[in-house]
Chains A and B, each alone.
Chain A
Amino acid sequence: MTTIRTREPAAEPSKLAPQADLPRLGWRGGLRYLWTQLTSMRTALVLLFTLALAAIPGSLVPQRRISPVRVTDFINEHPTLGPIYDKLGLFNVYTSPWFSAIYLLLFISLMGCIVPRIGVYAKALRARPPRTPRNLARLPAYAAAEIADSDHEVLDRAATGLRHRRYRVDFRDGSVAAERGYLREAGNLVFHISLLFVLTGVAIGALFGYRGTSVVIVGQGFSNNLTQYDDFSAGARFRDADLAPFSVTLKNFDVRFETGPVQRGAARLFSADVEVAEAGAAPRQETLEVNKPLHISGTTVHLIGHGYAPKVTVKDAQGNVAFSGPVVMLPQDGNFSSVGVIKAPDARPERLAFEAFFFPTAMLDDQGPRSVFPDALNPALFVNIWYGPPKVETGKPENVYSLDTTGLSQLRAADGEPVRIALSVGDGVNLPDGKGSIQLDGWVRWVKLQIGDTPGVPISLIALGFAVAGLCFSLFIRPRRVWIRVRDDEAGHRVVEVGGLDRADARAGLTEDVAELAAELSRRPEDVSAR
């Protein structure tokens, strides 16, 4: 909005007039007053500033939508400040009522400004270029030159020349009036209207879209239905039936890390080979990489994370296999020190559970066990053991990543220290007291897939294209007015007069253009007197 948004003086509420003497506004007048205030440029400025200010806390205070764990940590660390922040919505800044209020007001203000201006612009498009001023010499740029041809020819030639320069030309009372740069305001309007469409696209995405993640172990698959998601969020208008029917099988996942001295351990390659099966089509092979999401029946599948799943076999006290298979562990740091829980609820006579720590490149020193490289160069599994009487099946879902220790006791050595077992691949260890055994058979990788559909993105994207284009028009097009008249000067010579006026912060050249025009029309450039 670079061109002027100034109101006509009449529309501006008279702030200078003493308020006490004014007649009462009445509710209609009050509303009108409010509306004028809201759509005024000053309010728009204040709202823009407020928006900028309001967006800042969300970048400094942890946000629930981005990292709920850090929010919890923050509240625990700041017992007084945390709840206050929470009440103020500082952990959900961008969905908080006050933030929404600011941008909604801003958009209302924008509409209140844009709609009348569309009308004004439409009128301006149909209107003729403004009447030629009486005294062209008082314009910012002015040039005069003696002419050799007839008035008629000169003005005709002027009109043709200006039309070539893409002016709109009009003959008025024996003079030529011309204007160009109408697209500036058009660009300005397009930009602001586009912003409305951007917001519309975002709103559609928020209403009808969905997004969820699912952890898939290499060799296993994901099929797109609600039960398969680890977390899932959807807009108010989303229906389960909107989920496109397809499945993805993870055949292989290739990861490479920097092994050189610089940025050792930084990721260098993620590449997943997947087989995609859609309803009514033969399965196809695809490669899923960061920056190369899959598009399946209007749904987008992204690769957003990965980790390790040690393969474990647990036998109970009776020697029966109580659990066998990969267990997904969640990475805790850049070197993929991972934690997870191995549960063997079917172990008899007592059920078993293990708090497990997996280190892809394990190192054990006085800092305790940890991983020193993200790739699996020396994988090791450390477990603490819990046992207890079998639990009644309740059918209640349990968190697979955390251990509920109610009804369980930790297995301790004679000195009271918890028993901790370290396993390398292939190692099997019998638990003390004949409780059973645990073996690390190997490990596989898992990937975290994000599956989602955000309708409305194309609307936003196209609108943004228009916005940028409109912005360029509104900033770089220079509206200019030029008038040309033929008259007798003081000495009695027939002269052509050219006057010009720029209507925006402009680049150079008005004076030169006007002088050039005069010279062209006189066809005797040496006679041009310009300033």
Chain B
Amino acid sequence: MTYEYYSSLALVSSVVVYTLAMFAHAAEWAAARRVSAARPAERELVDVAAAEQRSEGTQEQMRPELSDMRPELSDMRPELVDQRAQTDNVPINSEIDPVASRRVEQFGRIGVALTVLGFLLSVFGVVMRALAAQRAPWGNMFEFTITAMVFVVGVYLILVWRAGVRWLGLPVTLLAAVGNGLAVTVFYVAVAPLVPALHSVWFLIHIVAAAISGAAFNVGGLMSIIYLIKKRAEQRGPVRGYLGRLPESRRIDLIAYRFLAFAFPLWTFTVVAGAIWAEYAWGRYWGWDPKETWALVTWVIYACYLHARSTAGWRGTRAAVIAIIGLASFWFNFIGINLLVSGLHSYAGI
């Protein structure tokens, strides 16, 4: 019975719990199949910022149709509708089935509760791992993955608490289950001290920055995927099922943008910190090591995303696709480069 044992136990349990949470969220989506158009017309969200951005350049042009007084956070909360429907007992939309609606709510809550449990387990697992290794638990691919997943789920839970983005539950729990699942099966390595090249204060700075910006890229990327799905549904006519309970696609796009806009400077910093560290450890700040190259590729793709968002004809769908390509590049850099290509960043230890 060692720290390492408890760490593994907690992480394996977290995979199971995240998977259950994913099933709960899947049931939540499925239960909403018959509950159509839950968002009444008056909740039609007009996004001031997005609209304004479009009108920039002709800045004095006013938009009389822009009228939205509701606080923004509530706009992201699909369940407000249910509460209103239940408390007032007045069907806002005659199609809403209160039983089905309640079931959606129940499954959603179960999903979030399980996610919280999985999160606590994986935090425990990471802490135990750190105690077992007696250092920051970021020395190899396994440790980086479990830490990054803690950040992803942590950010998601904060958003659920503060902004009601429970609709992100399905992709996030899927990601967390797959991430931690891969970590405990494929990436797993037993506790070991660090190689000398990692003995540096930049070890903390570079890797924490990478994990946090990675988490934000992931959440932003998932939102971009949801955005594309929702947008497609909107273009096909009235949105039915769970998708109807999601915020407007424009709103999703804006939240995704905030995540990516947060992640981008941090990723820039990650790359710069990596370059500084490389100068200390390897005697050159940039050597086109595969990992460095792909970090730059990822950076450039997200730079594309930010530019695309402010270029006419590239906003919306195209920008979202770029964000997803950026996420793919991030993942390739993490998994593909670690496992397939040999380079100086070969810390996977597998």
Q: Do A and B bind each other?
A: yes
CA distance A506 to B262 in the complex (A): 13
Within 8 A of B (CB), among A28-44: 41-42, 44
Q: Are the C-beta atoms of A55 and B300 separated by less than 8 Å?
A: yes
Of B50-58, B176-184, B216-224, B239-247, the stretch lying at the interface with chain A is B50-58
CA distance A293 to B296 in the complex (A): 26
* A412 proximal to B (CB < 8 A): no
Give every chain B residue within 8 A of A8 (Cβ-Cβ). 57
Q: Are the C-beta atoms of A2 and B265 separated by less than 8 Å?
A: no
Q: Are the C-beta atoms of A52 and B301 separated by less than 8 Å?
A: yes
Q: Are the C-beta atoms of B311 and A45 separated by less than 8 Å?
A: yes
CA distance A437 to B71 in the complex (A): 91
Q: Are the C-beta atoms of A504 and B49 separated by less than 8 Å?
A: yes
* B131 proximal to A (CB < 8 A): no
- Beyond A4-B56, A291-B280, A503-B59, whether A63 also contacts B288 by CB under 8 A is yes
* A3 proximal to B (CB < 8 A): yes
Q: Are the C-beta atoms of B311 and A49 separated by less than 8 Å?
A: no
CA distance A499 to B289 in the complex (A): 53
CA distance A511 to B70 in the complex (A): 9
- Beyond A4-B56, A133-B60, whether A302 also contacts B282 by CB under 8 A is yes
* A130 proximal to B (CB < 8 A): yes
Of B27-35, B112-120, B185-193, the stretch lying at the interface with chain A is B185-193
Q: Are the C-beta atoms of B312 and A211 separated by less than 8 Å?
A: no
* B92 proximal to A (CB < 8 A): no
Q: Are the C-beta atoms of B307 and A467 separated by less than 8 Å?
A: no
For chain A, what secondary structure do more than half of its interface residues adopt (helix, strand, loop), or is it mixed? mixed
* B284-318 interface bits toward A, Cβ cutoff 8 Å, 1 = contact, 0 = none: 11111110011011001101101111111010000
* B238 proximal to A (CB < 8 A): no
Q: Are the C-beta atoms of A531 and B304 separated by less than 8 Å?
A: no
Q: Are the C-beta atoms of B195 and A268 separated by less than 8 Å?
A: yes
Q: Chain A residue with minimal CB distance to B56?
A: A4
CA distance A505 to B312 in the complex (A): 15
Which residues from chain A sit less than 8 Å from chain B, CB to CB? 1-6, 8, 41-42, 44-45, 48-49, 51-52, 55-56, 58-60, 63, 65-66, 93-94, 130, 133, 135, 138-141, 202, 211, 258, 260-263, 266-270, 289-293, 300, 302, 304, 450, 452, 454, 457, 460-461, 464, 467-468, 471-472, 475-476, 501-512, 530-531
- Beyond A290-B197, A475-B261, whether A138 also contacts B63 by CB under 8 A is yes
23 A-B interface contacts by CB (under 8 A): A2-B261, A4-B310, A45-B308, A56-B293, A56-B294, A59-B288, A59-B294, A65-B288, A66-B289, A133-B60, A138-B63, A139-B62, A202-B286, A260-B192, A270-B196, A293-B280, A302-B282, A464-B272, A475-B306, A503-B56, A505-B49, A508-B73, A531-B69
- Beyond A138-B64, A262-B190, A290-B196, whether A59 also contacts B293 by CB under 8 A is yes
Q: Are the C-beta atoms of B269 and A6 separated by less than 8 Å?
A: no
CA distance A502 to B258 in the complex (A): 16
Q: Are the C-beta atoms of A268 and B196 separated by less than 8 Å?
A: yes
- Beyond A55-B296, A263-B349, whether A140 also contacts B311 by CB under 8 A is no
Q: Which among B193, B286, B309 has the greatest number of chain A C-beta atoms within 10 A?
A: B193
Give every chain B residue within 8 A of A452 (Cβ-Cβ). 283-284
Give every chain A residue within 8 A of B335 (Cβ-Cβ). none
- Beyond A49-B304, A130-B60, A292-B280, whether A140 also contacts B195 by CB under 8 A is no
Give every chain A residue within 8 A of B285 (Cβ-Cβ). 454, 457, 460
Q: Are the C-beta atoms of A2 and B306 separated by less than 8 Å?
A: yes
* B44 proximal to A (CB < 8 A): no
The residue from B50, B73, B311 contacting A41, defined by CB atoms under 8 A apart: B311
Give every chain A residue within 8 A of B59 (Cβ-Cβ). 130, 501, 503
Q: Are the C-beta atoms of B189 and A3 separated by less than 8 Å?
A: no
Q: Are the C-beta atoms of A133 and B62 separated by less than 8 Å?
A: yes
Q: Chain B residue with minimal CB distance to A142?
A: B67
Q: How far is the CB of A444 from chain B (nearest CB, A)?
A: 20
Q: Are the C-beta atoms of A6 and B53 separated by less than 8 Å?
A: no
